[in-house]
């Protein structure tokens, strides 16, 4: 069984106004003292109004869901004890007039000095899925094969339509904000692991990025674990939305490994077409068309069906087919988390939206 792990980022906000609150260290300390989470499972992030949690290595989607609910409850309880709430939204729906302070580590302070406006506006939250790989050469082959599916994953995960109290017109505004960093968006295609390492070394030597952590490609080799890390996803309102995406990503990686072993040709996609497909997915989510891996505009439902067909053998091998298929069906019926945010905003204004995103993190 290929193992998987999930990282989620949350915003800390005022329970009434929704404004970000710089209470990360207090929340981390309280969560670490509680019975539900170890201290090292709750980490700081770039801004002091953000925290990140990381599941242990998991073999099943049931484990993923259980750990995510455990960690969400731990952080939510710690946040409440410190007078705030956690928000599992890809972007802060409202922001204050003053920037949120940066977490005072040398790395983050250096980033603030070099890109102050980008750091000030980095009130965004993602979900990262780590999937185990046997070696880095295989990992690069996986990146080459899954890159064409990243816009579809992004559309499925879209959960950041509201910014500064109004609809941005984008299902994933987080993607647009994140895309302003020097190395971001879909990864290029690589000629093996040596080429990957050489190009990363070139980026570091250029001085445009300070370290490998600033390789903000939507999929990359992890520099901490023997995994491929898929990073294109908005954090999810509900834990089972995150479980769906973890299952799909693991199946995509498993399928890519099998295809590479079998010597099957991979789908080619030019960088400009993939970038355009990514922007289109961020703009529309699952409402309308997606650009499929062959570069053709198709209905989002057809592309999701094609994705499921592509990964069905891997889902069957993992015992995940029934659960993932059911969650995909629900996604097509209910829409993305971005759609749910928009409905809540239309029905109840900003208070209605805050009611949704304050309650959602603790639902299954």
CA distances from 264 to 138, 194, 255, 267, 295 (A): 14, 21, 11, 10, 19
Single out the residue of 225, 226, 231 nearest to residue 184, CA to CA: 231
Q: Coil, strand or helix: which one is 175?
A: helix
pLDDT for the residue 193:
97
Mean of the pLDDT values across residues 349-353? 94
Where would I find the beta strands (DSSP E) of 182-264? 184-185, 216-217, 219-221, 227-234
pLDDT for the residue 202:
97
pLDDT tens digits along 196-218: 999 999 999 999 999 999 999 99
Higher model confidence: residue 183 or residue 33?
183
pLDDT for the residue 100:
97
Higher model confidence: residue 246 or residue 38?
246
Mean of the pLDDT values across residues 1-5? 94
User: Distance between CA 78 and CA 63 in Å, rounded?
Assistant: 23
What is the residue-averaged pLDDT of the chain? 96
Give the pairing of strands 166-167 and 216-217.
Answer: unpaired
Mean of the pLDDT values across residues 334-354? 96
Helices and strands, number each (H, E), in the chain: 13, 13
pLDDT score of 362 more than 90: no
Contact 14, 357 (CB under 8 A): no
Indicate the pLDDT class of residue 168, thresholds 50, 70 and 90: very high
Please tell me the pTM assigned to this model. Answer: 0.97
pLDDT score of 363 more than 90: no
HSE-CB of 57 using CA atoms within 13 angstroms:
9
pLDDT for the residue 252:
98
pLDDT for the residue 35:
80
What Rg, from alpha-carbon coordinates, does the chain have?
19
Tokens of 196: 């990957």
pLDDT tens digits along 117-131: 999 999 999 999 999
pLDDT for the residue 38:
80
Indicate the pLDDT class of residue 39, thresholds 50, 70 and 90: confident
User: Distance between CA 80 and CA 89 in Å, rounded?
Assistant: 17
pLDDT score of 259 more than 80: yes
Contact 54, 41 (CB under 8 A): yes
Buried b (16+ CB within 10 A) or exposed e, 164-202: eeeebebbbbbbbbbeebeebbbbebbeebeebeeebee
pLDDT score of 364 more than 80: no
pLDDT score of 192 more than 80: yes
pLDDT score of 98 more than 80: yes
Any residues with CB less than 8 A from the CB of 55 and at least 6 apart, and which? 5, 6, 7, 63, 64, 67, 68, 71
User: Distance between CA 319 and CA 63 in Å, rounded?
Assistant: 13
**In the block, which residue shows the tokens 């209910």?**
334
Q: Lowest mean pLDDT of 157-166, 205-214, 304-313, name the range.
A: 205-214
Mean of the pLDDT values across residues 211-238? 96
Domains of the chain with bracketed CATH: 4-362 (3.30.590.20)
Residue 206, Cβ density class (10 Å: 0-12 exposed, 13-18 middle, ≥19 buried): exposed
pLDDT for the residue 170:
98
Any residues with CB less than 8 A from the CB of 163 and at least 6 apart, and which? 91, 92, 93, 95, 173
Any residues with CB less than 8 A from the CB of 343 and at least 6 apart, and which? none
């Amino acid at each position: 069984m290929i193992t998987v792990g999930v990282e989620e980022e949350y915003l800390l906000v005022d329970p009434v106004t929704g404004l970000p609150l710089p209470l990360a260290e207090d929340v981390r300390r309280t969560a670490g003292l509680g019975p539900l989470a170890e201290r090292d499972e709750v980490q700081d992030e770039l801004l002091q109004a953000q925290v990140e949690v990381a599941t242990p290595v998991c073999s099943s989607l049931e484990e993923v869901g259980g750990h995510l609910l455990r960690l969400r409850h731990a952080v939510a309880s710690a946040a409440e004890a410190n007078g705030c709430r956690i928000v599992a939204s890809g972007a802060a729906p409202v922001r204050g007039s003053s920037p949120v302070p940066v977490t005072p580590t040398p790395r983050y302070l250096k980033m603030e000095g070099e890109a102050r406006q980008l750091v000030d506006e980095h009130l965004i939250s993602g979900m990262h899925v780590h999937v185990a790989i046997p070696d880095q050469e295989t990992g690069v082959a996986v990146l080459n094969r899954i890159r064409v599916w990243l816009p579809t994953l992004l559309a499925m995960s879209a959960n950041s339509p509201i910014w500064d109290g109004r609809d941005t017109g984008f299902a994933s505004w987080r993607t647009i904000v994140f895309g302003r960093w020097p190395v971001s968006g879909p990864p290029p295609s690589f000629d093996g692991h040596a080429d990957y390492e050489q190009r990363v070394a070139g980026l570091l030597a250029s001085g445009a990025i300070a370290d490998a952590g600033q390789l903000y490609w939507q999929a990359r080799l992890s520099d901490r674990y023997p995994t491929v890390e898929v990073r294109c996803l908005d954090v999810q309102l509900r834990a089972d939305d995150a479980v769906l995406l973890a299952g799909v990503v693991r199946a995509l990686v498993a399928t890519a490994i099998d295809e590479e072993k079998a010597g099957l040709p991979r789908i080619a996609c030019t960088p400009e077409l993939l970038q355009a497909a990514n922007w289109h997915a961020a703009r529309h989510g699952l409402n309308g068309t997606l650009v499929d891996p062959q570069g053709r505009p198709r209905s989002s439902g057809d592309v999701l069906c094609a994705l499921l067909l592509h990964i069905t053998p891997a889902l069957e091998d993992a015992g995940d087919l029934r659960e993932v298929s059911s969650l995909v069906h629900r996604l097509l019926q209910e829409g993305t988390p971005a759609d749910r945010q928009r409905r809540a905003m239309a029905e109840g204004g900003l208070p209605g939206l805050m009611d949704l995103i304050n309650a959602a993190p603790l639902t299954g």
